[in-house]
Structure 1
Amino acid sequence: MNQAVRVAARTKPATHALIVLHGLGDTGQGWSFLADELQDEPCFMNTNFIFPNAPHMPITANGGAHMPGWFDIEEWDPHMRKFDVNGYMQSLSEVEKYVQEQISLGIQPQNIIVGGFSQGAALALGCALNLKEKIGGIFALSGFIHPGVKEVIWPNEEQEKLKSCNLGTKIFHGHGDWDPIVALEKGKQAEEFMTGSCGFKDYSFHEYHGMEHSVCPQELKDLSSYIKSCWNMK
């Protein structure tokens, strides 16, 4: 596993874990503010926060420039006709290791939430199809997902049965209507794919007026409420 930025639970033992995946060109440190934001609330004092760092790789769509990325993006194509299957699946395996790590520390799978922003959100949504344990929740901020993911992760009925345990898991998707990088349409396509093609039953899509490719205070407030609902916190 790549070195991750970690913020340990302020109160021991840790009973919950939040794994957050950054976007293309960013680092785990760029999202560590979320730990400070949430740990101000007493209900999150027993939560471990893990912010993995993506490996550096050449990104084809950016002229081959090396930057942190979970998988290659071959071209900025709104129809996403090309898909780095190997890079995506390798990163999914890395995320699963972080989930297993937290389980090995005594945290119950239902007390683990995986989420991400942009490219990290695409990975988080893939985790919903790939993990073999039912976890507490999945969130995607300004996210998308390639429609070819289902055939790759669920190539046959056996794999679909093995990895479909999160079909009832709560999924939160937040997206800005002014996003110039991952258009709102891509977010809505992700919702349609996850609920229609894949059969996820509890997918909530939140549209934020005036928000670009970023987060806003209302989205963070809604995300906090979502996490509490997943973990039955007040």
Structure 2
Amino acid sequence: MSSSVARALPLLFPAPGKHTATVIFIHGLGDTGRGWGGAVENWRRRQRLDEVKFILPHAPSIPITCNWGMKMPGWYDIQRIDGNTESLRQNEDEAGILLSQAYFHDLIQKEIDSGIPADRIVIGGFSQGGAMSIFSGLTAKVKLAGIVAMSSYLLLSLKFADLVPKPEFNKDTPIFMAHGDMDPVVHTALGKKSFDLLKSMGYNATWKIYEGMEHSACPEELDDVESFLQERLPPLWDSEGKSEL
């Protein structure tokens, strides 16, 4: 990936109420932020996230090796996708991963600059987006509220410990990792292996499997993500516009 890429402005869902928190949600390979617009509407349907602004960034179009080099929206290049546990970890596109990491760190900083505290920001995503969420979230130099990783895995796992800033700001940050048990793209075993590695390094990760789910999201999983967001980003203002602090 080039060090300079053309980026479209993210899709924004402003907070219906007073804006006190932000979720940055990152799509997967070949998708756009618009692909998760329906999920955002689903998460807000019970009006429990009315203080949350959602940012849905769009990946730049880049050549993807496993797609015969053809361009498609992607956060980093992938050599092979064949369902093998190790395929996604071979010849990882470190330059592309770090470029996207810098972009997401910039999105986080812009929210902080606008007045949203880091501990009122959640970063999450699906597939490539979830992988970037774990990587960008745990390497952030601010303490975040939470990380969501759906059908994802840990990037640059062989050197990850060396890439995390010292001191670590997100060692205790809750990470919700969710995966289908029939995933043929990001193999379930790779997701579980990533979870086990994070736990062994002392991170605050939880893991949930959804029976019969392939490389997608199901209603139960979307409800679980909504519950996680509600827990990590509770409202600060009551229905009359008064602070609950």
State the TM-score, normalized to the length of structure 1.
0.91
**2:99 maps to 1:93:** no
Gaps (5+ residues) in structure 2? 1-6, 237-245
Q: 2: distance between equivalents of 1:91 and 1:145?
A: 15
Normalized per residue, which structure has more helix? 1
Paired residues of 1:129 and 1:153 also in contact (CA < 8 A): no
Q: Alpha carbons of 1:47 and 1:233: their partners in 2 closer, same or farther (altered >3 Å)?
A: closer
Q: 1: distance between equivalents of 2:162 and 2:32?
A: 27
Q: 1: distance between equivalents of 2:137 and 2:198?
A: 9
Paired residues of 2:43 and 2:222 also in contact (CA < 8 A): no
Match of 1:167 among 168, 171, 174: 171
1:94-173 mapped onto 2 (5 Å cutoff): 94-146=103-155, 147-151=157-161, 153-154=163-164, 159-161=165-167, 164-173=168-177
How far 1:142 sits from its partner (Å)? 0.3
**2:69 maps to 1:69:** no
Q: 1: distance between equivalents of 2:51 and 2:109?
A: 18
How far 1:41 sits from its partner (Å)? 2.4
How far 1:6 sits from its partner (Å)? 0.7
Paired residues of 2:185 and 2:215 also in contact (CA < 8 A): yes
One-letter code of the match for 1:226?
F
One-letter code of the match for 1:144?
Y
Larger relative CO (CA 8 A, sep 6+): 1 or 2? 2
**2:85 maps to 1:78:** yes
Q: 2: distance between equivalents of 1:136 and 1:10?
A: 20
Gaps (5+ residues) in structure 1? none
Match of 1:176 among 180, 183, 186: 180
Question: Which secondary structure state, in structure 2, belongs to the residue aligned with residue 50 of structure 1?
Answer: strand
Q: 2: distance between equivalents of 1:203 and 1:142?
A: 14
Q: Alpha carbons of 1:4 and 1:149: their partners in 2 closer, same or farther (altered >3 Å)?
A: farther
Question: Which secondary structure state, in structure 1, belongs to the residue aligned with residue 215 of structure 2?
Answer: coil
Q: Alpha carbons of 1:66 and 1:149: their partners in 2 closer, same or farther (altered >3 Å)?
A: farther
Match of 2:33 in 1: 28
Identity %: 34
Match of 1:205 in 2: 207
How far 1:46 sits from its partner (Å)? 1.5
Paired residues of 2:23 and 2:53 also in contact (CA < 8 A): yes
Give the total of aligned pairs.
225
**2:79 maps to 1:51:** no
Q: 2: distance between equivalents of 1:28 and 1:39?
A: 17
Paired residues of 1:129 and 1:150 also in contact (CA < 8 A): no
State the TM-score, normalized to the length of structure 2.
0.87
Runs of 4+ in 1 over 4 A off after TM superposition: none
